[in-house]
């Protein structure tokens, strides 16, 4: 749950930066958001979540 909230916040910040700096149109952001919602309701969603969790575990294991 914490990982998914962090991903949503991070992706939201990235979309906001693209919207402000790189000329991302509001329609593009809405399409990306709708795509994410529809993708979350498909059968591939558990695989994506497992991949996100393993990536977060990998990145969390690095010592800087």
Tens of pLDDT along 9-58?
Answer: 777 787 788 778 878 788 887 878 877 787 777 788 888 888 888 988 88
Q: How high is the pLDDT of residue 4? A: 61
Q: How high is the pLDDT of residue 18? A: 79
Q: How high is the pLDDT of residue 52? A: 80
Q: How high is the pLDDT of residue 3? A: 57
Match 């497992």 to its residue by tokens.
50
Q: How high is the pLDDT of residue 5? A: 64
This prediction's pTM: 0.53
Q: How would DSSP label each residue in 7-56?
A: HHHHHHHHHHHHHHHS---HHHHHHHHHHHHHHHTSTTHHHHHHHHHHHH
The Cα-based distances of 12 to 21, 58, 62, 63 in angstroms read: 14, 22, 25, 26
Q: Are 58 and 51 in contact (CB under 8 A)?
A: no
């Amino acid at each position: 749950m914490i990982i998914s909230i962090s991903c949503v916040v991070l992706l939201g910040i990235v979309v906001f930066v693209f919207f402000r700096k790189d000329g991302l149109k509001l329609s593009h952001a809405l399409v990306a958001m709708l795509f994410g919602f529809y993708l979350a309701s498909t059968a591939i969603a558990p695989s994506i979540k497992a991949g996100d969790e393993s990536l977060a575990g990998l990145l969390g294991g690095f010592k800087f």
